[in-house]
Structure 1
Amino acid sequence: MGVRRRRTAGVAVVALGLLAGGLLLPAAPAGAHGALENPLSRAAACGADSPLSKKSPACTAAMAVSNTELPDEWDNLRVADVAGRDREVIPDGKLCSGGIEGFGGLDLARADWPATRLTAGAGFTFKYRGTIPHKGTFRLYVTTDRYDPSRALKWSDLERQPFLKVTDPAMADGSYVMKGRLPASKSGRHLIYTIWQNSDTPDTYYSCSDVVFRAAKAAAAPSEPAPTDSAAAEPAPTDSTADEAAANDPATDDPGSDEPGSDEPTTDESAVADPASEPVAAAPAAALAGSSGSGGLPWAVGGVALLAAVAGAIIVLARAKGRRPR
């Protein structure tokens, strides 16, 4: 019986050793990876799995910037230890890249970035692709009426307060889903700036989504203020399903237009796929779940299995110690 107890103790020691060794291995990629996919962000549009990465002149220009991390690292635009000091840490002109050199191409001041058509004041379902799930708070800002897409984005180009703030939204089909209401007073080309501050990692993520607002329908219901935190209250969309479907209609301004910020931009087919055959916002989402080389899920699964093995070994050891030799 003594031999059996020694063997059992040995198993427990080995298991604990594996656990300790695992804790000393190089850490898995920290934080959650992702980017706003609806309305489509620049990073997602230029990602390796996006049908626009090779069709959009803006994406082509972004990927031509030296030392670029696009298109493969589209979901890894994160800055550590910002802790809510976004305006202090991220410099003007580099908001879309988060000040990271490898994403500098996303800061290019152009009026032909792939854009999503939205209806001002309409209810809208925002979707943020999360290739590694994590906890945190999303804050969405819109540009002021003075916004000029031909100039590098600065903090003063954004409204001071977010029009939507969501903490720990639910995830569906690999994306965080957040229902809210679009700003009611906007028209023409604008930009929605998303800040995702993780609460279980030190990372903060940044996304720039180019959009084109069109006026709300005359018969539409009066707009309601967006909630300050959807964890406490979730707004009920008042617009029809057709309105939201129309809001997903991708468009870009004609690069040759004399008015790049006009209310009714023409579609540049070389930059944006035909929505009837390749939905711009949906196409990246369908293929991004296993991309970017983040590898976070296998680490999580392996960790759970290892902990289970250690727990089983300890239980066996405890039972063995409780038996007396005959």
Structure 2
Amino acid sequence: MRRKIGAAVIGLSAACLTLVPAGGAAGHGYTDTPTSRQVFCAQGAVTDCGEIQWEPQSVEGPKGFPSHGPSDGTLCAGGNSRFAELDDPRGGAWPATRVAAGQNYTFRWRLTARHATTDFRYYLTNDRYRPDRPLTRADLDLTPFLTVPYNGRIPDATVSHQGRLPAGKTGRQMILAVWTIADTGNAFYACSDVEF
């Protein structure tokens, strides 16, 4: 009888292990300051968002941006086709957070599951950016204007970073925020439309 119970426990354990996704990060998160596209979808401020309206924290894709990571045109969805609505420029009509060039700004992430972290990086679009087209690397200054190293530490559930927005910016731009996970091959991506 003990052998049958032991075999059943081993079989059940093996079955449960196959349900755990391999290689995925345990961490999930999104930016809410400035408000990201996924938050606007989750709040219902933007409609026809697909699955992201229920999972604003799940924009996970390959890490290594800008040399690696999601392909151009899929950056806002982290290369994740489930959330392709985030890459749709909607004619440049996404709601935008008003900011000022050169101002000190507090950037905030909400982490629904925390994870060992390499860093948080913030990129801003350049003069070639057109808000009516999907975001590409050519649209961004590929040197982050703010990098916050974490060296493998686990951040709090709410993370705020003080930084200065680049000077000389005008009009509609976009901030791409990247949370790089330390012990997996993934990062989390968030696009925030801003108006200088």
Query: Contact between 1:171 and 1:177, CA under 8 Å: does it hold in 2?
Result: no
Higher helix residue share: 1
Q: Which has the larger radius of gyration?
A: 1
Unpaired runs of 5+ residues, structure 2, are: 1-5
For the aligned residue pairs, the C-alpha RMSD in angstroms reads 2.6
Aligned CA distance change for structure 1 residues 145 and 73 (closer, same or farther; 3 Å): same
Q: How many angstroms apart in 2 are the aligned matches of 1:184 and 1:121?
A: 4
Q: How many angstroms apart in 2 are the aligned matches of 1:87 and 1:93?
A: 15
Q: How many angstroms apart in 1 are the aligned matches of 2:155 and 2:70?
A: 28
In structure 2, the partner of 1:33 is: 28
CA drift at 1:91:
1.8
Unpaired runs of 5+ residues, structure 1, are: 1-13, 214-326
In structure 1, the partner of 2:97 is: 116
Q: TM-score, normalised by structure 2?
A: 0.81
Aligned CA distance change for structure 1 residues 77 and 90 (closer, same or farther; 3 Å): same
In structure 2, the partner of 1:152 is: 134
In structure 1, the partner of 2:144 is: 162
Higher strand residue share: 2
1:39-188 to structure 2, matched below 5 A, reads: 39-47=34-42, 50=43, 53=44, 55=45, 59-61=46-48, 63=49, 68-79=50-61, 82-84=62-64, 86-109=66-89, 110-136=91-117, 137-168=119-150, 174-188=157-171
The 4+ residue runs of structure 1 with deviation greater than 6 A are: none
CA drift at 1:134:
1.5
Query: Contact between 2:32 and 2:109, CA under 8 Å: does it hold in 1?
Result: yes
In the alignment, residue 98 of structure 2 is paired with which amino acid?
R
Percent identity at matched positions?
37
Aligned CA distance change for structure 1 residues 156 and 105 (closer, same or farther; 3 Å): same
CA drift at 1:27:
3.1
In the alignment, residue 108 of structure 2 is paired with which amino acid?
K
Q: How many angstroms apart in 2 are the aligned matches of 1:184 and 1:97?
A: 27
Q: TM-score, normalised by structure 1?
A: 0.50
Q: How many angstroms apart in 1 are the aligned matches of 2:65 and 2:103?
A: 31
Query: Contact between 1:31 and 1:203, CA under 8 Å: does it hold in 2?
Result: no
